[in-house]
Amino acid sequence: MQINLTINGNEYSREVDEHRNLLHFLREDLGLTGTKEGCGAGECGACTVIMDGEPVNSCLVLAAEADGSEIETIEGEASEGELSDLQQALHEHHAVQCGFCTPGMIMSLKDLLRRNSTPGENEIRQAIEGNLCRCTGYEQIIEAVLDLTGQLDEREELKYA
């Protein structure tokens, strides 16, 4: 079937198999391989994208269901070779190890920061409850968001060091 959708501000019109999921459509049909496939079952959050303003697991959405929607992915973050503020904060706090969870993690955090400009530690933890990081870099991710939102004092930084 034919679908039309907007991804990171660009309009796409494509023929897609009706049983194809959004994740495989992004990665294989469009070559947007920033979004990762971990479990393929809605557990790990590596495939998180923002769909019409809400983070979703793109492995659990059919491309057909995304017809007419607006999608944001990790490819929409950096612009002209410059990291987004959120990417920069993660980079500075060594919040990226293998990097596999990072694209999904950033989508969940982007949504959090839209809803709450100064999230506390618990709110940050809740926002990434559906994003597994197996390098166990959660503390650095929390530290990066606290820093980005001007809430990281020296004492807290020591705690996460």
Partner 1 sequence: MRTPFNYFAPETLSDAHELLEKHGERAEILAGGTDLLVDIRNDMKQPDAVIDIKNIEELNGVEFDSDDGLIINAAATCTEVSSHTVVRDRYPFIVEATSELASHQVRNRATVVGNICNASPCADAARPLLCLDASVEISSLQNKRTLPLEEFITGVKQNDLAPGELVERVRVPVEMADARGANRKLKRIKGHDLSLASVTMVKTDAETRVSIGACGPTPVVLTGFDASTDVDELCSAAEEAISPIDDVRSTAEYRNFMIKQYIRELDEELS
What does the binding site for partner 1 look like in residue numbers (CB under 8 A)? 1, 17-21, 40-43, 45, 48, 54-57, 59-62, 64-65, 108, 111, 125-127, 129-131
Comparing CB distances to partner 1, the nearer of 23 and 152 is 23
- Minimum distance from CB of 103 to partner 1 (Å)? 13
- Minimum distance from CB of 81 to partner 1 (Å)? 29
CA distance readout (Å), 147 to 15, 47, 81, 102, 106? 43, 25, 22, 17, 15
- Minimum distance from CB of 154 to partner 1 (Å)? 27
- Minimum distance from CB of 92 to partner 1 (Å)? 25
126, 132, 124: which is closest to 89 by C-alpha? 124
Give, for 55, the enclosing helix (H) or strand (E).
strand 54-57
- Minimum distance from CB of 82 to partner 1 (Å)? 28
CA distance readout (Å), 128 to 44, 45, 70? 10, 9, 22
Comparing CB distances to partner 1, the nearer of 28 and 157 is 28
CA distance readout (Å), 138 to 29, 32, 41, 133, 146? 32, 26, 22, 7, 12
Give, for 71, the enclosing helix (H) or strand (E).
strand 70-72
Comparing CB distances to partner 1, the nearer of 20 and 135 is 20
Comparing CB distances to partner 1, the nearer of 49 and 89 is 49
Comparing CB distances to partner 1, the nearer of 52 and 153 is 52
